[in-house]
Structure 1
Amino acid sequence: MNVPQSLGYGPQDRLLIVNADDFGLCHSTNVGIQALLQEGVVSSATLMMPCGWAREAALWSARHTQLDVGVHLTLTSEWSALKWGPVYRAGAVDSLVTNEGYFCKDVKAFERRADSVQVHHELKAQVKMALELGVNVTHADNHMGSLYGLQTGRNFLSETFDVCAHYGLPFRLPRNLLLENGQFAPPVLAQQAMKHAEEAGRKGVIVLDYLLGLPFRSDTSESYESMKLQMIGLLKQLHPGVTEIIIHPSLVTDELCAFHEAPLRRGMEMELFRDPDIQATIRSEGIIPIRWRDLRDLQRGIAKV
């Protein structure tokens, strides 16, 4: 499916979604993301339902159903001082947790030990929890890429597509794989990405054309200006089609600093799409902002035909 043309845009139009990940991680992140959503400088956010502050974020989202909020499907728990585990309560989750009962710290451990049936139950439980709290869920994506098979090659995308199809949600998966510098990935990786996108399409799940973001780990010389220049570079290199750019914004507080290894970076990401230079680049490049809601409504409309 050519999604841009199905939405009424031209074949050369560059459509952009900006998503704020990790909504629900902590109160400081919630307050920051809420501000960006209300200001309209991000298109959407995604909720980490297993986290301790997810309920606050979900109830706020239920009061602001005009804003796009999805589910950040979470199966890892990466911080040492702040942990979380499964929300599924109706059966076994032993393959998803450590001896302490929390999710694994890293993706490789999750991929090696997770049972696909238990993964399916947990994914469905996370979406269902958001819906039960009143969230008008617009889409789904994945925390730390744990479902993509990036570390061992063992992915859980089939289970993910089944859950997304069940709830009528588009999913964050790039049809065309790009490297961090915005260039196309090598042919073997590109073919694999296209194969996954085709499976999603067979199950009626709409996916992205491209996915971009700043490198997750920063170097010691990084500044706000260098980060802004990187983002402007990504925006200028957008390809025709639907691109999502992901950011991880937050207020920088004692709460965030108590567990996060790079809190100042999250504070800088909080300001990126507020920046007049970023907004001017979007306008001058003729980039068209769209919403995950547009993709969700298209997917559900097709399913009814």
Structure 2
Amino acid sequence: MNAAGSSKRIVLHEDDVGMCHGANSAFLELSGLGVCSSGAVMVPCPWFLEMAESAAANPGLDLGVHLTLNSEKQHYKWRPLTAPSRAAGLTDEFGFLWPDVATTRRKAVPQAVEAELRAQIDTAYRAGIDVTHLDAHMGAALSPEFCNIYIKLGLEYQLPVLLTKTLSAYSPNDNLVGVTEEAFQRGVALARAGGFAIFDAAIQTT
């Protein structure tokens, strides 16, 4: 209980669903056991369709979209859905999403980011997923350059977004090197103004 007497709520969440078969199997098993509260799927990834089929067959699954702007593995890669030109700044010389958030922040054109994230949400719906929320792979969509887009899409699609009260409370923040608390708080203020609930903390485990 907190000081005001209201109970705290914990969401046990699995992200990176759709990245590989193992992630899908783990999410389905843990959800079935009642251990996992929810998950989020990476739409551009190779095993997305397997997860989409499972979600369409089991509408009780709590599955959001893990908005994806990076492909961080060395030899296992994925591309954006929108097939952008190199001028859009979303991809490397081979057409794959950048491996790190810093490069995406530096190079990606916000309009191209919005088009890609919108395509990921729309594709999830078309594949039969009853999308429950949005969150950000590697925290990329939370960066100051793109957080307004993230919140805009949450409002437009009427989907909750994952955002914490402070940057330090978001434990995957190692990908957001160089982002200041002041810059992060601009996104938090925008989310609050939009009526979103803000999480106390997001704690990453392995």
The corresponding residue for 1:167 is: 157
Structure of greater Rg: 1
- Give the superposition deviation at 1:62: 1.4
Q: Given the alignment, which residue of 45, 52, 74 partners 2:39?
A: 45
For residue 141 of structure 1, the aligned residue among 112, 135, 139 is 135
Residue from 58, 68, 73 that aligns with 2:67: 73
| Structure 1 pair 62–180 and aligned structure 2 pair: CA distance change class (3 A) | closer
| Partner SS state of residue 137, structure 1 | coil
Give the superposition deviation at 1:192.
Answer: 4.5
Q: Secondary structure at the match of 1:165?
A: helix
Aligned counterpart, 2:175: none
Corresponding residue for residue 126 of structure 1:
120
- Cα 1:58–1:11 change in 2 (3 A) is farther
Q: Measure how far apart 1:179 and its partner are.
A: 4.7
Q: Is the 8 A contact 2:133 2:161 kept in 1?
A: yes
1:61 has 2:52 as partner: no
Q: Specify the code of the residue in structure 2 equivalent to 1:110.
A: T
Distance 1:108 1:193 in 2: 15
Partner Cα separation in structure 2 for residue 193 and residue 98 of structure 1:
27
Looking at structure 2, the residues matched to 75 and 192 of structure 1 have their Cα atoms a distance apart, in angstroms, of 20
Name 1:21's counterpart in structure 2. Answer: 15
Checking the alignment, whether the CA contact within 8 Å between 1:176 and 1:209 is kept in structure 2 is no
Change (3 A) 1:52 1:43: same
- The answer (yes or no) to whether the contact 2:167–2:181 under 8 Å persists in 1 is yes
Partner of 2:174: none
User: 1:59: Cα distance to partner?
Assistant: 1.4
Report which of the two has the higher share of strand: 1
Q: Quote the residue 2:81 is aligned against.
A: 87
Is the CA contact 1:197–1:207 (under 8 Å) kept in the aligned structure 2?
no
CA RMSD of aligned residues (A): 2.2
Number of the residue aligned with 1:196? 187
1:194-224: CA deviations, max 9, x gaps?
43222123334x243222324xxxxxxxxxx
One-letter identity of the residue aligned with 1:165: L
Q: How far does residue 193 in structure 1 lie from its aligned partner after superposition?
A: 4.0
SS in 1 for 2:188: helix
- Helix, strand or coil: the match of 1:70? strand
* Contact 1:50-1:126 within 8 A present in 2 as well: yes
* Paired letter, 2:11: I
Find the aligned partners of 1:51 and 1:92 in 2 and give their Cα distance. 19
Which of 157, 175, 178 matches 2:147?
157
> Runs of 5+ in structure 2 lacking a partner?
172-178
* One-letter amino acid of the structure 1 residue matched with residue 159 of structure 2: L
Give the unaligned 5+ runs of structure 1.
Answer: 1-9, 182-187, 215-246, 248-268, 270-305
CA–CA separation in structure 1 for the residues paired with 2:103 and 2:198 = 27
Letter of the structure 2 residue corresponding to residue 116 of structure 1: P
